Each structure stands twice: as structure tokens, then as C-alpha cells.
Amino acid sequence: MDELGNLTFLESLYDINRVNFHRSYLKELKKAMDDGANVTGYFAWSILDNFEWLLGYTERFGL
């Protein structure tokens, strides 16, 4: 999976690869919880745009 900053705005709205990635990851997380894993949170990189030292806020990474 590539970084979101490499997609156009419209491509990022319909990014099926990223949706499927998070869906499968969360499915496995639920299996682990059902098996007794003590999960208190889930963090996706990156839910928000972040500051890049060379590019500032010009690249968009957030979901």
C-alpha cells in the first residue's frame, strides 16, 4: 500500500485498497480479542495529516 500523499483527492476518496487493508486488520484484531487479547485501542497511521520536515503540511497522509 502506498502513502495517501501519492493519490489525487478523488482517488483518496475511493481508495478501496486502504479500506480493505483496515477492514482485514480490524477483522484479525477482533479475532485476537475473541481469543482473549486485552486490546484497549487501535491507531491507524495516520488518521490526521502530519508535518513532514522537508514538505511541511503540503503532503496529505491522513485518512
Q: Whose CA is closest to 2, among 43, 45, 41, 42?
A: 45
What's the confidence (pLDDT) of residue 49?
A: 78
Are 62 and 50 a contacting pair, CB within 8 Å? yes
Q: Report pLDDT digits (tens) over 1-49.
A: 555 557 777 877 788 888 898 899 999 999 999 999 999 998 887 777 7
Question: Which DSSP string corresponds to 13-56?
Answer: HT-HHHHHHHHHHHHHHHHHHHTT--------TTSS---BTTTB
Q: What is the pTM of this model?
A: 0.62
